[in-house]
């Protein structure tokens, strides 16, 4: 019997990113890909394609198909901007100095509290569109510029609303433990009470967050305070992620690994023991070279050790108004290679397969494989190494979101 399918793509090379296929890209050259009901139903060498009756066909013209890109760490819903802080930092002030003088995250908190839901939506939309135009089909969005119940809810609802009006999957993360709001000055434990007793339960009740994050750093919250947030999230059945060891070693990574966190993000200052703990717990390392670059950090995350220990390395923009106002996942791939020494194949895995894992979504996306979502990008390139190598001119020829052409 001839199988029907919605779409059949032929004359295409697939960088499947499937680790069970040899080579860093899991490449299948001269492939065919069949899609039905928004999912991949067949993928393999074209000459092995079984008889099939497609409703539509696409000639891939010898181009490369990759999984849709996944940006697993962004703060793209916020009010205002911090251009004046950029100038201060260029003048020699550090990120921490700016934060301690009431600027930094708290300056964005003031602007986000003052913005209406509509203004937040309008400000976030171009950032979202910039990521989507480069082939991002799943994007994580954090709150954390509200630091009170109403504004945290406003940010998360804005993220959900963006997903309703754009062909992209958005996962949301509540980052209420991002900074101490001014009204709780000197009372951080009481603010953590508010996070655990009011904000997270309300967010969970409205199903507004898919995960919970926290900023564990001397300018934010201690390991003990973050552990309380983790315990609360886990009682609410929400997975956790941690902004860890960005500015100094705090013990956040060890705590996150003990708590089976999905990911630890930044991790410039982790130790060998932290790497071992991550390898043991399967916690993903989310590398954020754009924040490293913007803050002119010199301490590198220990890439060689992470690689040698088999820790899964994801790569993300960290798109935010302070440490990375850069809405380009492709630039992050290039920075991941040039600044952190990733291979181009590791960079692509970092924004596909490993990013899916950092979001707890590796059962549905991140790899081109039958049974997974047909979120895919067709690129006019001769080798997938070009994705990390070139910035600016190489654009998607076509973007598929759940099998539907949505851009390119």
- Binding site for N-formimidoyl-L-glutamate, by residue number, is 145, 320, 322
Q: How far is the CB of 318 from ligand NIG (least distance, A)?
A: 5
Are the CB atoms for 306 and 341 separated by under 8 Å? no
* Token pair listed for 96: 């921490």
State which residue has the least CB distance to ligand NIG: 322
* Nearest CA-CA partner of 255 in 236, 281, 237, 291: 281
Per rule CB under 6 A, is residue 291 in the interface with ligand NIG?
Answer: yes
Q: How far is the CB of 213 from ligand NIG (least distance, A)?
A: 9
**CB closer to ligand NIG, 104 vs 181:** 104
Give me the residues paired with residue 373 across strands: 39
C-alpha to C-alpha distances, 274 to 227, 255, 302, 307, nearest whole angstrom: 16, 9, 11, 13
Q: Choose from ligand NIG, Fe ion, none: what does 369 bind? Cβ within 5-8 Å by kind.
A: none
Number of residues that bind ligand NIG (CB under 6 A): 13
The only residue of 36, 63, 108, 281 in contact with ligand NIG, by rule CB under 6 A: 108
**Region near ligand NIG per CB under 6 A, out of 155-163, 222-230, 275-283, 320-328:** 320-328
DSSP state of 215: E
State which residue has the least CB distance to Fe ion: 318
Q: Choose from ligand NIG, Fe ion, none: what does 322 bind? Cβ within 5-8 Å by kind.
A: ligand NIG
> Reduced to 3 DSSP states, what percent helix, strand and coil does the chain have, rounded to the nearest 5?
35, 25, 40
Q: Choose from Fe ion, ligand NIG, none: what does 403 bind? Cβ within 5-8 Å by kind.
A: none
Per rule CB under 6 A, is residue 246 in the interface with ligand NIG?
Answer: yes
The only residue of 227, 320, 328, 334 in contact with ligand NIG, by rule CB under 6 A: 320
User: What distance in Å separates the CA atoms of residue 336 and residue 315, rounded to the nearest whole number?
Assistant: 7
Q: Residue 212 contacts by C-beta under 8 Å, 6 or more apart in sequence?
A: 173, 174, 175, 200, 229, 230, 232, 233, 236, 238, 239, 240, 241
**CB closer to Fe ion, 217 vs 318:** 318
Per rule CB under 6 A, is residue 74 in the interface with ligand NIG?
Answer: no
Q: Residue 350 contacts by C-beta under 8 Å, 6 or more apart in sequence?
A: 287, 313, 314, 315, 316, 333, 336, 342
**CB closer to Fe ion, 121 vs 292:** 292
Binding site for ligand NIG (CB under 6 A): 75, 104-105, 108, 215, 243, 246, 291, 318, 320-323
């Amino acid at each position: 019997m001839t199988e029907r399918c919605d779409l059949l793509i032929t004359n295409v090379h697939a960088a499947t990113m499937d680790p069970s296929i040899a080579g860093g890209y899991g490449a299948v050259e001269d492939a065919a890909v069949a899609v039905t009901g928004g999912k991949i139903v067949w993928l393999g060498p074209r000459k092995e394609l079984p008889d099939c009756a497609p409703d539509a066909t696409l000639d891939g013209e010898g181009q490369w198909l990759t999984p849709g890109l996944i940006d697993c760490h962004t703060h793209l819903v916020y009010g205002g901007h911090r251009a004046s802080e950029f100038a201060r930092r260029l003048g020699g002030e550090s990120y921490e100095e700016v934060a301690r003088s009431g600027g930094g995250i708290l300056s964005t908190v003031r602007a986000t509290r003052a913005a209406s839901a509509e203004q937040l939506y309008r400000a976030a939309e171009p950032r979202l569109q910039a990521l989507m135009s480069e082939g991002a089909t799943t994007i994580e969005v954090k709150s954390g510029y509200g630091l009170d119940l109403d504004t945290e809810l406003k940010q998360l609802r804005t993220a959900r609303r963006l997903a309703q009006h754009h062909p992209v999957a958005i996962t949301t993360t509540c980052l209420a433990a991002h900074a101490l709001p001014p009204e709780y000055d000197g009372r951080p434990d009481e603010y953590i009470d508010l996070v655990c007793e009011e904000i997270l339960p309300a967010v969970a009740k409205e199903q507004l967050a898919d995960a919970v994050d926290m900023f564990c750093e001397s300018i934010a919250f201690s390991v003990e305070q973050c552990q309380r947030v983790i315990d609360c999230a886990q009682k609410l059945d929400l997975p956790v992620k941690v902004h860890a060891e960005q500015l100094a070693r705090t013990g956040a990574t060890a705590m996150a690994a003990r708590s089976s966190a999905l990911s630890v993000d930044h991790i410039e200052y982790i130790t060998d023991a932290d790497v071992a703990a991550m390898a043991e717990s399967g916690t993903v390392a989310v590398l954020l070279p754009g924040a490293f670059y913007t803050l002119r950090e010199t301490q590198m995350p220990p890439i060689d050790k992470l690689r040698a220990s088999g820790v899964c390395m994801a790569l993300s923009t960290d798109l935010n108004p302070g440490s990375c106002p850069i809405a380009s996942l492709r630039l992050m791939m290039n920075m991941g290679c040039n600044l952190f020494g990733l291979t181009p194949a590791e960079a692509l895995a970092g924004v596909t397969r490993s990013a899916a894992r950092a979001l707890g979504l590796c059962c549905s996306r991140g790899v081109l494989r039958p049974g997974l979502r047909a979120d895919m990008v067709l690129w006019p390139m001769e080798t997938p190494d070009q994705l990390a190598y070139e910035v600016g001119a190489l654009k998607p020829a076509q973007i598929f979101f759940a099998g539907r052409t949505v851009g390119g």
